[in-house]
């Protein structure tokens, strides 16, 4: 376990209704917006050390308004372009 104090807390989102946006990191504000836009998705809170890449899942929970929806149509995003460039 990493003993450094500079841990970063990240929130990963996963769910069928998120479509291509599943598996992305979101801020607490974005999660509030998503809770009204999607029926159900899971959030994993992970602590990560930027120095050694150690990580630990702290919690997970389900958000959404309970209304089942189809995943949004796939569109090209800046995040996709960023990933393809690597």
The whole-number pLDDT of residue 32 equals 95
Q: Is the pLDDT of residue 15 over 70?
A: yes
Tell me how long the chain is: 86
For the CA atoms of 76, 57, 47, 19, what is the dihedral angle to 10 degrees? Answer: 10
Mapping DSSP onto H, E and C, the string for 11-80 reads EEEECHHHHHHCCEECCHHHHHHHHHHCCCEEEEEEEECCCCCCEEEEEEEEECCCCCCCCCCCCCCHHH
Work out the percent of the chain whose per-residue pLDDT is above 90.
57
Give pLDDT tens digits for 50-76. 888 889 999 999 999 998 888 877 777
The whole-number pLDDT of residue 79 equals 67
* Average pLDDT over every residue of 25-39: 95
pTM for the whole structure = 0.76
The whole-number pLDDT of residue 86 equals 58
Q: Which tokens hold the place of 45?
A: 């809170």
């Amino acid at each position: 376990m990493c003993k450094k104090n500079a841990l970063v807390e990240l929130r990963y989102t996963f769910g069928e209704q998120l479509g291509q946006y599943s598996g992305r990191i979101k801020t607490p504000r974005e999660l509030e917006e998503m809770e009204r836009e999607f029926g159900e998705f899971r959030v994993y809170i992970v602590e990560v050390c930027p120095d050694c890449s150690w990580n630990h899942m702290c919690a997970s929970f389900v958000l959404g308004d309970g209304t089942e929806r189809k995943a949004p149509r796939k569109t090209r995003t800046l995040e996709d372009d960023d990933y393809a460039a690597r």
